[in-house]
Amino acid sequence: MAEKGTNEYWIDELKEKRIKINDISPSFCSAKWLQTTLMLQNGYNHSCHHPSPHKIPVEEVLENPAALHNSQYKKTQRDKMLCGDRPKECDYCWKIEDLDKEYFSDRHYKTADWWAWDKIDEIANSDPYDDVYPTYLEVSFSNACNFACAYCSPEISSTWMQDIQKDGIYPVKFGSHDLNYLKEVGKFPFKNSEPNPYVDAFWKWFPDAFKHLKVFRITGGEPTMSKDFWRTVDYIVEHHHENPELKIGINSNLGTDPRLIERLIASVIRLESHGIEVEIFTSAESTGNKAEYARDGIVYNEWIENIERMLIETNCRVVIMTTVNILSISTMQDFVQDIMDLRIKFNQNLAHNRIPLSVNYLRYPPHLQCTLLSSVYRETMANKLEVFCEGWLKYDSPDKFARLYLEEFDQIKRLCDYLRTEPVADKYREDFANFIREYDRRRGKNFEETFPELITDMEKW
């Protein structure tokens, strides 16, 4: 066993925990019990960010507000996990585990995490159809957002909603953003001006759930554009004595109105002044004009500057989340370098990394996944990325406190293996070309100028 407190020790500990997790069940994941993301703007829910969200029947929450987290559908998936069955919706983790049994999938990371580990014996011996309180709760109140990222959608972004309302659906088989379909499946968001039974149920359930939480995270849309975000900050400050150990996470694109950035920084300082630990979560996976093309609305240099402001003016960590896709592969290495540059500037020791990195690959919409690219191109990019990232591991890092941590490198390595081994998804290539032409027309962008390395592919597809 490595020396306690080191990154290597944590990995050794994770290996031991993985054995216990798999002994409970080879498909057990405590996130089905302890983690939830609530999209209150349309009444959808999922346990973590990988499975497709499912609709919570409004009748369930009217009868029992706790059904926001304990829907009958989710209870059925819990039962499957305790029986060793793999819920189909969790295929993100199954794919990673099937690549190599030594890889840690997110069901291992989540179940072994500090907010979940002390509950697993209780869960393993519980009735999967009982109501439970989450320890990690993420909530979206609204789809209000000033970004319209290429792979996002109207139920999550109001700017995407405006795009579809103005010009109609995109000419693709999957992910066309048909508003009639969203209405049919109950994904069409409530308007801010109309009553929302899911928000009402939340405020009935939250005071009790609040006392059980270890992490409370607010997301969107862009949450700072929602009045309920500021109401929630006030509630946390007023009631933090009921749960003094609670940690707060705030998702933000860090590219919204400067006045909201100022207010967000002030709110973080306010929370910290009450002894509340805060983490900011923000997202990107490419750099410069490629980031600005894919994440429509971001100004990349301003995004970096706002990250730096958060790190300078508050004590929080800024966690960088990624959704690696066909538009990000060519600058992924540059993106990792930008993260390392931030660590060089702001990390003061190895134990406290102020800019963590989470690496995830996109699966939906299918016309933007990496696997549209040829196997040869993907293997070349994967090999370059892996070699580059190896240079930022502990023993090779050129800067004392800027390094890639082992769990981050594990995520990068599994991404590289995925790029090398996944079959080519050529059936979505025509959709990609159709989407990009329409995206350029609507958004005033130029794919050929931004991605010259993909012009030949685009012409063929």
- Rounded to the nearest angstrom, the gap between the alpha carbon of residue 53 and the centroid of all alpha carbons in its chain is 13
Average pLDDT of the residues in 334-349 = 94
Nearest one of 211, 281, 278 to 244, comparing CA atoms: 211
- For residue range 128-186, what is the model confidence (pLDDT) as tens digits? 999 999 999 999 999 999 999 999 999 999 999 999 999 999 999 988 899 999 999 99
Nearest one of 270, 279, 300, 272 to 219, comparing CA atoms: 279
- 201 pLDDT above the threshold of 70: yes
- Rounded to the nearest angstrom, the gap between the alpha carbon of residue 207 and the centroid of all alpha carbons in its chain is 25
Tokens, residue 51: 């499975």
Residue 5's pLDDT is 64
**The model's pTM:** 0.88
- For residue range 123-140, what is the model confidence (pLDDT) as tens digits? 999 999 999 999 999 999
Tokens, residue 167: 């010009």
Average pLDDT of the residues in 195-207 = 95
- Split at pLDDT 50, 70, 90, the class of 333 is very high
d(CA 406, CA 393): 7
Domains and CATH numbers, the chain: 138-460 (3.20.20)
In the β-sheet with 247-251, what is the strand arrangement from edge to edge?
54-55, 44-46, 35-39, 136-140, 215-219, 247-251, 277-283, 317-321, 357-358
- For residue range 286-318, what is the model confidence (pLDDT) as tens digits? 999 999 999 999 999 999 999 999 999 999 999
* Whole-number Cα distances in Å, 321 to 47, 120, 209, 314: 18, 26, 26, 20
d(CA 304, CA 265): 15
